[in-house]
Chain A
Amino acid sequence: MIDIAIIVLAAAAAVFVLAPLRHPVAASPGGEDRDQIRRQEDAVSQALRDIELDYATGKLSREDYREFRARVESGTETPMRGGGSA
């Protein structure tokens, strides 16, 4: 009984694992780059929220607030800049 179970398990595992090799799939570029752009937008938005919150909670002077906000908005300072492929 256990002999049969082992044979069935081995065969099932081999079929399950090797089956994808019979059907080559083309790589689908593009989606990840879109996600990367979305993540960068999120990061910029998050950075601006941090600056707003730091200012609103009294941790930043008005001058620093203006400077940091301008830096992030102009792209001079980009949080989470994608390093891209090395």
Chain B
Amino acid sequence: MTMADLGRFALMAALILALYALVAAILGGRARRPEVVVSAVRALEATALLEVLAAALLWLALGTRNYAFQYVISHVSNAQPLLYDLTSFWGGMEGSLLLWALVLSGYTLLAVWSISREHPRLVPGVAAACAAVSGFFLFMLTAVASPFVTTPFPPADGRGMNPLLLNPWMAIHPPTLYLGYVGLTVPFAIVVSSLATGRLEDGGILLARRWMLWAWYCLSMGLMFGAKWSYVVLGWGGYWAWDPVENAALMPWLVSTAFLHSVMIQERRAMLKKWNAVLVILAFGLSIFGTFLTRSGVLSSIHSFTQSPLGAFFLAFLAFLLLAAFSLVAWRWESLRGENELDAALSRESAFLVNNVLFLSVAFSVFLGTVFPIVSEVLTGRAVNVGPPFFDHVVGPLALGILVLMGVGPLIAWRRASALNLRRNFQAPGAAGVLVGAGLLALGVRPPGAVLAFALCGFVAGTIALEFARGVRVRRAHGSEGVGRALVSLVLRNRGRYGGYVVHLGILLLFAGITGSSVFATQRLVTVQPGETTAIGEYRVRFDSLSQSTRGGALVITAHLRGTAGGRDLGPLEARRSLFLTSQESTTDVALRSTPRDDLYITLTGWTQDGRATLRLLVNPLVMWMWVGGLVLSLGAIITLLPERRPAPLPVPDLSGAWSPGGP
């Protein structure tokens, strides 16, 4: 018996326990036998422990470079830094499936423990649904893609990871994304449990919302980390390429964003129960679909997909899940009927409904563009790629629509808005938007899409500022708080609402960064001699020399540069190209100077024996605001995730209108 045998045993035992948990949870729940449900939960706890053991064994093998393991041979090499030996855990298919199972077990236990306090009747269903998903991944790990396959003749060195993955952003991008992907299992399990048991009160969906919010936050951060990696490592000057792997993460993010808005209607008006259940199921289905896309090989070719059983298993599992979940929705259709109706077309509910239509339209467009090569290859034998222009043209206008709603929604009251109040509320934010648009036109900015986008950003920023200002004014009208204290109290006492506005502010900054960098980016490709200076925008870059060195099994060519901006010295800059001799791969180190206004981005694309260098220079405006937007989004999400205290009603206002801005 070897360490690999122990790993295989751990996964096989975990699979058996997950299947036991599935059966015991269903039987215990149906027969109302708590001891059987407790046994099922214990099986899930034991499953988690065994997965921890399997993960520890794999990490040990990776950390000690035990080349008896096929997985270690494929992802570790003697020249690779230890940190990346360890992060290669999720660098390959088998390891990432184990990470899926491991994270799911952690979430399952957290969910079961927390749900058992407030919704004990949901526990059997949640345990069963999580055990079913866990069982599928453990089956894949034991029967299809085991990380514990060994070789009788271990080599002296491994192949190592793809050099492009040897980057801190790529070290944290996959686990963060997985925290999001896998996190979508819990809301799915809660909804399935509610539907299966007939416990359809809204408390279940609100519980699902809490988990969805966490998953959404992790997906957001995973997407941001991936964009940052793409920007600083791939060297093409951008951060988003509508790559199918990126789209796979974007789709569940879009659907979960739609849910986080529409669930507010259920919370306040007990409406849209069916719709919210469908969104939770869709978001989870898309997370499995994303894992299928990235792990089945279907993206490279339909032929490679059919050569591996992995894709077929994923598709079958996805079909089973969706069929089972939607059957439950159909079964409970009547019980999911809303308890109130829309009061008026002009209401926040309506704004959220349009918001949902737009988010789902974007998600569907991205889905269509992503699967189009697969569908075309199946139908015609030739994969036709729709490419970024398709996504830009379809998603761009829809995104502008979402931006409009980000500004409109907060200004409209729940239930019904009067035309008078609406006019009054739109004045200041509308003026902010017009000012921004007119200011840009006066400065000579001409692309109409960009002017419109920035004007809308001004409008939304005006809305957010107005909401905070009015909230603070209301608090101060009822006490002696200073502005700062009133602001903090306002946010802490209405975390969902104002945390959401902070998230909107983050999205706004992201939107401004995307617009600025995609519309106004400039670039030059130049071949320069040592001592020669080239210019782009207000930047001047002098190429000093080339140098050559070796590092970690790679030949590293460095272009030494010096930049100035408007006569101000930026100091030395270095653009590198690393050529990995064994893997025939190359990586790029970008020379990057980032300011709030723009990024100077230089890559070394070629060189000659006589010391000349070919440089690609880009000026990308406003990119820094994207990363700042990510931080602001994080802050908003954290505020929203903090548990709310039981709300105390605000004092009943004096209807004489003496203080109320709402007046007659």
Contacts and interface: CB of A to CB of B under 8 A. Distances in A.
Contact of A13 (B17, B203, B415): B17
Contacts of B198: 85-86
A59 B411 CA distance: 7
A80 B2 contact: no
A48 to B, nearest CB: 5
Contacts of B664: 61-62
Contacts of B38: 20, 25
A1 B650 CA distance: 67
| Chain A interface size, under 10 / 10 to 19 / 20 to 34 / 35 or more | 35 or more
B43 A17 contact: yes
A67 to B, nearest CB: 9
Contact of A42 (B10, B42, B420, B646): B646
A79 B418 CA distance: 22
Interface stretch (B28-36, B148-156, B500-508): B28-36
A25 B268 CA distance: 38
A7 to B, nearest CB: 10
A9 B13 CA distance: 9
B70 interface: no
A59 B10 CA distance: 59
B35 A56 contact: no
A45 B647 CA distance: 7
Given A42-B646, A86-B335, A57 B661 contact: yes
A79 B269 contact: yes
Given A57-B470, A60-B662, A52 B653 contact: yes
B540 interface: no
B411 A52 contact: no
B267 A3 contact: no
Contact of A61 (B45, B206, B340, B421): B421
B657 interface: yes
A61 B474 contact: no
A78 B647 contact: no
B50 A13 contact: yes
Contacts, number: 193
Best-surrounded residue of B3, B335, B413 (most CB of chain A within 10 A)? B413
Interface stretch (B117-125, B161-169, B567-575): B117-125
Chain B interface helix/strand/loop/mixed: helix
A64 B415 contact: yes
B424 interface: yes
Contacts of A39: 201, 203, 206
A45 to B, nearest CB: 5
A60 B421 contact: yes
Contact of A16 (B42, B421, B646): B42
A52 B202 CA distance: 23
Given A21-B36, A55-B662, A81 B339 contact: yes
B588 interface: no
Given A23-B35, A79-B268, A57 B471 contact: yes
A55 B649 CA distance: 14
Contacts of B33: 24
Chain A interface helix/strand/loop/mixed: helix
B46 A13 contact: yes
A46 B120 contact: no
Given A20-B42, A57-B661, A42 B647 contact: yes
Nearest to B334: A86
Nearest to A18: B39
Interface residues of B, number: 78
A50 B198 CA distance: 30
Contacts of B50: 9, 13
A18 B336 CA distance: 37
Interface in A1-53: 1-3, 5-6, 9-10, 13, 16-21, 23-27, 31-32, 35-36, 39, 42-43, 45-53
A25 B2 CA distance: 42
Contacts of B53: 9
Contacts of A55: 653, 660, 662
Given A17-B20, A24-B33, A68-B415, A48 B6 contact: no
A2 B647 contact: no
Given A62-B663, A77-B340, A48 B649 contact: yes
Contact of B267 (A57, A58, A79): A79
A24 B202 CA distance: 31
A30 to B, nearest CB: 11
A21 B39 contact: yes
Contacts of B34: 25-27
A80 B336 CA distance: 12
Contacts of A59: 411-413, 417, 421, 425, 662
A17 B25 CA distance: 12
B612 interface: no
Nearest to B200: A83
Contact of B662 (A6, A61, A82): A61
Contact of B46 (A16, A77, A84): A16
A65 to B, nearest CB: 7
Contact of B121 (A32, A43, A78, A83): A32
A2 B201 contact: no
A16 B336 CA distance: 39
Contacts of A54: 413-414, 662
A77 B414 CA distance: 13
Contacts of B43: 17
B1 interface: yes
Nearest to A50: B414
Contacts of A81: 201-202, 270, 339
A2 B1 contact: yes
A35 B53 CA distance: 38
Contacts of A62: 655, 657, 662-664
Nearest to B33: A24
A1 B653 CA distance: 75
B203 A80 contact: yes
Interface in B20-77: 20, 32-36, 38-39, 42-43, 45-46, 50, 53
13 contacts: A17-B17, A25-B35, A26-B34, A42-B646, A43-B202, A53-B474, A53-B494, A59-B417, A59-B662, A61-B421, A62-B664, A64-B418, A79-B267
Interface of B: 1-3, 5-6, 9-10, 13, 17, 20, 32-36, 38-39, 42-43, 45-46, 50, 53, 118-121, 198-203, 206, 266-270, 273, 332, 334-336, 339-340, 411-418, 420-421, 424-425, 467, 470-471, 474, 494, 497, 646-650, 652-653, 655, 657, 660-664
Given A3-B1, A62-B657, A68-B414, 18 more contacts: A9-B53, A16-B45, A19-B39, A20-B35, A24-B33, A47-B268, A51-B414, A52-B649, A53-B471, A54-B662, A56-B470, A56-B660, A58-B661, A61-B664, A77-B340, A80-B202, A83-B273, A86-B332
Would you list the 3 A-B pairs with minimal beta carbon distance, nearest first? A83-B200, A86-B198, A82-B201
